[in-house]
């Protein structure tokens, strides 16, 4: 299962973690993993100021942590990533779990 954790404080982004594998299909054919990866990496590529974040991307882990306050543009990008991942969760709840904390 892919676990997504989105943390904010007072409506300001703090961190995003995407970890695990969906195991919806065998490696190389897993559309759920591919969708989550495309949304996550594509969204990170849209960040206006990636230097405002500590970003780590490995095979089964993506972490994004704000170093400082972030621009409105980047906040919108991160919330868009979250909404897209929630949409995948709605379609594949046995394979993706999204949690948010404030």
- Domains defined for the chain, CATH in brackets: 2-101 (3.30.70.1490)
pLDDT in tens, 26-46: 988 999 999 999 999 999 999
DSSP 69: -
pLDDT in tens, 40-96: 999 999 999 999 999 999 989 999 999 999 999 999 999 999 999 999 999 999 999
Which single residue is written with the structure tokens 């990496």?
Answer: 41
Helix or strand (DSSP H, E) at 60: none
Determine the Cα–Cα distance for residues 74 and 13; give it in Å rounded to an integer: 9
Helix axes 31-45, 72-91, angle to 10 degrees: 170
């Amino acid at each position: 299962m892919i676990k997504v954790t989105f943390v904010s404080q007072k409506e300001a982004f703090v961190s995003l973690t995407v970890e695990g594998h969906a195991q919806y299909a065998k490696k190389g054919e897993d559309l759920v993993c591919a969708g989550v990866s495309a949304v996550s990496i594509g969204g990170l590529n849209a960040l206006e100021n990636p230097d405002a974040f500590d970003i780590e991307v490995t095979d089964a882990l993506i972490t994004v942590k704000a170093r400082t306050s972030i621009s409105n543009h980047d906040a919108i990008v991160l919330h868009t990533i979250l909404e897209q991942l929630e949409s995948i969760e709605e379609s594949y709840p046995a394979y993706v779990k999204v949690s948010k904390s404030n």
